[in-house]
Amino acid sequence: MREKKVIPTNMQAARQLAEELLDEAPFKGYSEPALFAIRLALEEGLANAIKHGNKSDPGKSITVCAEVDDDQATITITDEGEGFEPGVIPDPTVDENLEKPCGRGIMLMRSYMDKVEFNERGNEVRLIKRRA
């Protein structure tokens, strides 16, 4: 299954897309922990694209490409923002950052997915979860 969707920059549209993708994609054989991870990473990637990428600009859109087969799920999320440098994001798990209400999205994507890649500009993230 390969699918591409373009959504406006808002949380409701992102939520709907996530629900549709999780309903429609052929996740047969994927474990519950794997599905939890995919759902989490998808939500984190979409939230980042809305808030930090497109800065909640309703005039911008987000493109999501999903490819799911028996071996792995690959989800690519692209925003229209200026991009960022993933290496400069503070570690949210160190003591001095534990009480910060935000800043955990990228760490969670990296913790739960098998592979997380950003393009050079930093406005696109590619998330991969293997079935087994």
Partner 1 sequence: MTVAGRQPFRLDVAREGNAAVVRVSGSVTITEADQLREALENLAAEHAPVMVLDLANMDFICSLGLGAIISGHLKCRHHRGQVRLVHPQPPVRELLETTRLTKLFGIYDSVAQALPET
CA distance 19 to 16: 5
Task: List helix spans (H) across 49-128.
Answer: 105-112
132 binding partner 1? (CB under 8 A): no
CA distance 131 to 57: 35
89 binding partner 1? (CB under 8 A): no
| Binding flags for partner 1, 61-80, as an x/- string (CB under 8 A) | --------------------
Do residues 78 and 121 touch, judged by C-beta distance below 8 A? no
CB of 98 or CB of 132, closer to partner 1: 98
Which secondary-structure segment (H or E) carries 72? Answer: strand 72-78
Binding segment for partner 1 among 1-9, 20-28, 64-72, 82-90 (CB under 8 A)? 20-28
CB of 22 or CB of 65, closer to partner 1: 22
40 binding partner 1? (CB under 8 A): yes
